[in-house]
Every structure is written in structure tokens, then in C-alpha cells.
Amino acid sequence: MRLQNKIIAVTGGTKGIGAGIVRILAGEGAFVVFSGRSKTEGESLAAELKRKNQKAGFFQADISKVKDCFAFIEKAVESGGRIDGLVNNAGIFPTFSLPDTNEDLYNQVMSTNVKGPFFAIQRALKYMNEQKKGSIVNIGSTHWRVGPKDMSAYSISKGALRTLTEHVALHYIGNGVRCNWVTVGWVISDGEIEKFKKMGKDRAWIEGLAAEHIPSGIFQTPEDIAHACVFFLSDESSQVTGADITVTGGFHSP
């Protein structure tokens, strides 16, 4: 119960890594307010946690819209009278090279992966600065430095998010607000699995990708990422800001 009674907001918490983070944080005693675009998935997860006598609330939001970012943070504050933590997990990762990326796709990636976290942090800082305490965790990627050729906009967006992390870490620690980063390795998504199955690849072939590309030989899980978040959100890391927990099994991006 390392997060007992903390009020923590998580963006993009209805599935994948986000849902894993929500489950682990709630299990550690936090009241988790999480966002997502799917009302069905969000309400289903909230009901699951309620059955376990854990505290969570779903707020339907599109984090690429500033008004939704603000409304989501306000919902978290309304739920507990304050906001102790924010996890910026929502993100999209379309696979297009730079020449193949059109303006609409570029704007969509930047709005979700950069603008959303920027304005969620902006609104959270309003309360965290007053409280003189708060922890922000940005979910990163091994691709933030260069990235694969077919993930140009995504890689650039994660580079911007990394800069935002270090900016907040330096300039707001004087107010007791910390900001840290989790580098995600290869957490294979349901979408990737479905894509490979459509290519005629079975589960054994998919698992072989981990053995081939990840030094640890296995894919990372949403829970692996969540445990790093727990440390950053807990009082154990009260003097940790601008840090990077690399949860990759040794995997490195180009």
C-alpha cells in the first residue's frame, strides 16, 4: 500500500499499458482517476476495480483536446480535494516514415503525445504548486532520441516529451513538484498481435521476436511499467526528479 490515499490521475488508462498502470496503482491504495476515449472500456475497468474494493473513477476524455485535459485534471481534484500524482500515458504510435507522414497525421500525433501532456501538466501544476507537493510521471520510449525510420512523428513527439520532463523537473522542484520519465521497451500491444496474426504469424513466431531483439529474451508487460510508476509516485522518491527508469530488458532503439 505504498500509495495509500493518494489521488492520482492517469491519461489513456483504459487498455494496454495504461490499464496495467491503473490496476497496479489502485492495488497500492491510490484513488485513481483515469481517462480514455472509450466509455465502454473505461467503465468496465472502473467496475472491475470496484469489485475488488479498490478506488478508481473513469472520465471520458480525448487528451489531444486542451479542454478535455483541463476537465480531466479538475475531475481528479474534485474526487479527492487535491492531486498528488499525474501519469501521462496516453499516446499513439502510427508507423509512417517522414516522407509518408501527412499534415493531419503529424498533427494528430503531436496533439496526443505532446500537447496533451503539456496542458495536463499545466493544469496539474496549478494545484501542485499550491500544495507544495506533487509527482508527475511521463511515459516515454526508447525511440525518443532517433527512432525507427517508419516511426518518424512518434519518435519526434517522444523527444519533445523528454524535454518537457526535464524542463518541469528543473523548474518546479523548488515547489516540491517532481517530474520523472519511464522508458518503455517493447510492450507488445493487442494491435501488434492482431497485425502479425493477419500476416499469418502464430504466437510462437511473435514470442520469437522478443528472443531475437530483446536481450532479456522477453517482452515487457504493462505491470513492469506500472511498478516503475509506483516508485516515482510514492514518498520513497521524494528527492528524485528528472530521472529515467529504463524498463526495456536491455532493448535499444536505432
What confidence score (pLDDT) does residue 195 get?
82
Mean pLDDT, the chain cut into blocks of 10 residues (254 residues total):
97 96 98 97 97 97 98 96 98 95 98 98 98 98 94 97 98 98 92 85 89 94 97 98 97 86
SS3 (DSSP) at 113: helix
- CA 205 remoteness from chain centre: 28
Helix and strand element counts for the chain (H, E): 9, 7
What confidence score (pLDDT) does residue 192 get?
82
What confidence score (pLDDT) does residue 196 get?
87
**In the chain, domain spans:** 7-185+221-246, 190-219
What confidence score (pLDDT) does residue 84 get?
98
What confidence score (pLDDT) does residue 62 get?
97
Burial class (CB in 10 A: 0-12, 13-18, 19+), 3: buried
What confidence score (pLDDT) does residue 142 get?
95
Residue 44, H or E segment: helix 39-51
SS3 (DSSP) at 203: helix
> According to CATH, what is the number of the domain 7-185+221-246?
3.40.50.720
What confidence score (pLDDT) does residue 164 get?
98
Q: Which residue numbers are catalytic? A: 154
* Cα–Cα distance measured from residue 168 to residue 118, given in angstroms and rounded to the nearest whole number: 10
